[in-house]
Amino acid sequence: MLTQAPRGTRDILPEEAGKWVFLENKFREICRRFSYKEIRTPVFEHTELFQRGVGETTDIVEKEMYTFLDKSGRSITLKPEGTAPTARAYIEHKLYTQTLPVKLFYIIPGFRYERPQAGRLREFHQFGIEAFGSESPHIDVEVMLLAVSFLKNLGLDDIKLHINSIGCETCRSDYVKALKDFLGESRQNLCDTCRSRLDRNPLRVLDCKNPDCQRTLKEAPAVLDFLCEKCKTHFETIKNDLSLLKIDYKVDPRIVRGLDYYTRTVFEIISDDLGAQSTVCGGGRYDNLVQECGGPTTPAAGFGMGIERLITILEKKNLLKIPEEKVDVYIAPLTEEYGNTALRLLYRFRENGISAETDYLKRSLKAQMKYADKIMAQFVVLIGEEEESSGFYTVKDLATGQQQKVAGDKIFEYISNNIRKGCGEVE
């Protein structure tokens, strides 16, 4: 066990880390275009935040949280999602006193105790955004559009946007009553979990993936039929905006999302490349969360997107080809006595912004050349008696096999200029 990662976690090795950096940079760039700023919240929070914010009847709070007592007996939970911690930070630091809306994004690890499966781990990672302070349906559309734009910029053209409205507290209460009455007549056809949810939170039954429950729900009343005029207008504006912007979407009355804080708009972005676990991004509006967590009344909207799932999809479609990292120059001392010269040159290259390596294992020149080729060095600088006495270095281009003498005071300029040309950069 000492040399094995805990079940449901995984190491991201150097050859894979480049994919993560690539996606993180892409996400940061799209957020910059939409004027969202980065926030970083702690890995753990007080357990009460998730009990009140996420909801005590959700799967997350009931079954999946990593919760423990610290040495002072306080209940602490590793964060299972990013919205509640961001709302807590919004309240604690009085971000509501700033110019609204406050638009934030994050890249986080999350923790949920569940059965590991494709694209779903116990330690997982998420991209997320939150927009606080506006009840405009145009903000809902902006949140959706940021996610869709990000995914399409990565080459995922066949994703599907599914939207729904679950109404506000006023109109939803009528729907919950109708749903509860309907399900009460079919209680025996529901799974054990849904029977327990029926009395506490009937909406959660709509989110169940059990085939028996899904069959029972086919004739269930639709939440869209119970929306009040204000919620109808809000939802119609969202649909009109999406049509205006030529964003394909599908109204899906079965989407409720798995967290209690959602109000009105909920949406999912679906990919068929994940099998049964088809949602790569989910979000919506949560106008009561900030107040529920002790802050002022604050309308808000946002989304969460699983990074592991996203990488799985991109790799299936062969859309995540990241160039391997190469070393600019390898310094090869012909014998040990030229090691000090090689060391001085090594650090001068690095100080000049050039990636450089040298020998630390007392390899022969032949072995050093093999190593330089293995780490994909573009150039090898040879250092021997001739180079020491003449002040000219022998520089070999491993791509072409050509080599030439370069004066010591010109070596950095020569390597730097040729690397730029080799990388296709503009000088």
Tell me which of 51-55, 77-81, 252-256 is least confident.
Answer: 51-55
**What stretch of H or E contains 28?**
helix 14-33
Classify domain 14-168+228-316 by CATH architecture: 2-Layer Sandwich (3.30)
CATH assignment of 329-423, given 3.40.50.800, 1.20.1260.10, 3.40.640.10, 2.60.40.2550? 3.40.50.800
Structure tokens at 89: 């930070």
The answer, yes or no, to whether residue 108 has pLDDT greater than 80, is: yes
CA 363 and chain centroid, separation: 42
Tell me which of 97-106, 242-251, 386-395 is least confident.
Answer: 386-395
Structure tokens at 412: 């950095």
- 83 CB contacts (<8 Å, ≥6 apart)? 53, 128, 130, 259, 261, 286, 289, 302, 304
Q: Is 259 left (phi over 0), alpha (psi -120 to 50) or beta?
A: beta
The answer, yes or no, to whether residue 118 has pLDDT greater than 70, is: no
Structure tokens at 395: 């520089």
Q: At what angle do helices 137-153 and 229-244 cross, to 10 degrees?
A: 40
- Residues 317-341: pLDDT tens digits? 999 888 778 899 999 999 989 999 9
Tell me which of 57-61, 97-101, 145-149, 161-165 is least confident.
Answer: 57-61
Rounded alpha-carbon distances, angstroms, from residue 314 to 192, 266, 274, 311, 381: 37, 25, 11, 5, 39
- 192 CB contacts (<8 Å, ≥6 apart)? none
Distance CA 383, CA 381 (A): 7
Higher-confidence residue: 303 or 259? 303
Report yes or no on whether pTM surpasses 0.85: yes
Q: Give the domain ranges of the chain.
A: 14-168+228-316, 329-423
